[in-house]
Chain A
Amino acid sequence: MAKPTSPGTAESLVLFLSLVPYVMDSGEVTVDEAAAQFSRDPEDIRKAVELIACAGIPGDSAAYLHADLFDIDWDAFESRGVIRFSHTVVIDQQPRLSTREISALIAGLQYLAAHPRYGEREDVQRLLGKLQAVSGRPMPAQLGIHSGSVSASLETIDACLTAGTQLRFTYINRNGERDTRTVDPLALEARDDVWYLRAWCLLREAPRMFRLDRMAELVALDTPVAEHPDSADPESWSIFTASESDVVATLEFDEPALPIVAEYLNRSKPPRKTDTGYVAQVPFAHYGSLVRFITAQAGLVRVTAPASAIQAVQDWVRQAQAASG
């Protein structure tokens, strides 16, 4: 079956096919403009242009004669980084999206629609309808995202984000510690169906991620939020940030559990294969999150070190059994 030999090849190929109509439509663009538009390095764009400029069709003579090739204004390109075609062949339109791409876009839109600011929007619904209609051939819903109802706190948080005001709430972390936080909300995030608030925590004087389902007693305050240094680069915020206080546990598991622990393995080096299965060193923020993860895996994942972590799991299970009677 179709399996791209290397994703890099497909991505480069699509860049060639997309650059041509983009430049043709604008007449001329700079390398930097194209790089920004396609989210690529200027060097990638430069290389792509050089390749396109020498490419073409075999032609009647099958000799790739000059008239059968693309050509650019080399002078403008080399001296000023301006891309302008002086001759093009065959391609003059954007390549279409595959049915798989369309089904991923439909699912992505359905997912966005769970957000209060998107769900209400008529254009989102209209676009979904259009995509379903124009996909060319009848297409069943191959890929669906079904989001459950989102917690009521979402609306309070969204109101604070819109107004640029502070939020106060009670928070219980994975270690069971409960306290009251006042934060400058920065953004709502969602990973699959778990929602997070990215915020500047005034108690910790640091950026923090809060799970919406561990928040209670939310109060929208009138105090405007302050500017924070690194809030401009959202991608630098991740759900799990390694720190020195992490509990690093040695986990052992068999092959069947690999996909189950995949999310946690992301934090660590790839697991090592042994005679009996796999071993990985995985950091957890505290014992609370470690024991919860291990217990929820029903024995498929075992902690083998450190002794304190094994003890924590044993205690947690024993207490749970006692509580269950």
Chain B
Amino acid sequence: MPGQAIRPEDRLFHLILALMATSTGLSKETIVSTVRGYREDLEAGLSPASIDRRFERDKDLVRDLGIPIEAIHPPDGDDDNKLTVYRIPKTDYDLPDDWELGSQDIRLLNTAAAVWREGSLSAEARVTHTKLASLGIQMDEPLIGFLPVITARDPALDALRRAVDEAVIVRFDYLTPGEQTPKTRTVSPWGIVMHEGRWHLLSHEDTGQERTFLLRRIVSAVTTLDQSGTVAPEGAVERMTAELDQLYWSQTATVDVEPGSGAELELVNRAGSSRTGTTVTVHYTDAKALAAELAGFGPQVRVVGPDEVVAFHHEVLNQVAAAHG
């Protein structure tokens, strides 16, 4: 159909089909001159540089969906990419048949994907749903009335997850809780964990220090450096998560609460809280984060200790007062 633009998904579909049909691989030149979508671009006089960029983007998008495009470079080391050929090995494309997932497993996976239906992972969740639906199993979970959702609104989440997957170094500005000016950080991202309802980045700084960051406090875009980072040693992510947990359970703050107030109820309902009269002992991970949370309760709470939390609590109230003076 001359004159009619070919939609990107049409071109990508043809690229995948062509790369799966070849066993020896196709060079970029062959792809551009024969595959539907590319050929039309070439004939329409699109510049080679533009076609090149389009091919690179297409490869990224296809790989991003979990479809492996193999690049075979010529044996005599010359990095001349005119001789590089591409293919998609069918065995790496197909859903592995040793999965042995039953209908119930598929339904569970579909529910697990739906957990991400809001926020920055929602497009990916829809892709997963589509792939699972293609197995032809009736997808409705019989368990109605439970619709959990992970909001995944932190803008940094998706970029960091990609960086973890690709094991590349990232850079971002970070606002330490309680401070007013952000600092630039450069780290190898190791893992992302939701703990106490907040997303944490577990990472490794080039100084050799392990560092945990709150995603909500990342105040710039996340820049991915074109540089491989350190890879988490086995079990490191699990260990750092356990450390967050351990921190929560090892630290307590004492708070006097107004009897019958919402503060009393919410604080008593936190994991591990105990109460004696109008005094509630709560566990926490981050003193500054807890102080801000307690400040939200206004006069319904009086922080008794430790001193660190008392001081941060005062500071937060002063900051709010100053901002509304």
Contact = CB atoms under 8 A, between A and B. Distances in A.
A103 to B, nearest CB: 8
B94 A323 contact: no
Nearest to B108: A127
Nearest to B157: A143
How many chain A residues sit at the interface, stated as a range, is 35 or more
A136 B151 CA distance: 28
Nearest to A294: B320
A7 interface: yes
B83 interface: no
B51 interface: no
Interface string B225-238: 00000001010111
Contacts of B128: 97, 101, 104-105
Nearest to B36: A64
Contact of A18 (B105, B134, B150, B302): B134
Interface string B161-191: 1111110100001010110001000000011
Interface string B271-311: 11000000000000000000011011111111100000010
Contact of B192 (A11, A143, A314): A143
A10 B269 contact: no
B50 interface: no
B137 to A, nearest CB: 9
B38 to A, nearest CB: 10
11 contacts: A38-B133, A93-B90, A95-B95, A101-B113, A124-B108, A176-B300, A178-B260, A192-B149, A235-B147, A259-B154, A292-B298
Which A-B residue pairs are the 3 nearest by beta carbons? A98-B66, A108-B112, A299-B319
B71 interface: no
A228 B13 CA distance: 46
B265 interface: yes
B67 interface: yes
Nearest to A126: B105
A285 interface: no
Interface in A181-214: 186-194, 198, 212-214
Nearest to B122: A7
A55 B17 contact: yes
Contact of B297 (A38, A193, A263, A292): A292
Contacts of B143: 117-118
A247 to B, nearest CB: 15
Given A143-B191, A259-B218, A17 B13 contact: yes
Contacts of B156: 259
B72 interface: no
B323 A101 contact: no
B109 interface: yes
A286 interface: no
A85 interface: no
A13 B35 contact: no
Nearest to B232: A140
B146 A187 contact: yes
B191 A141 contact: yes
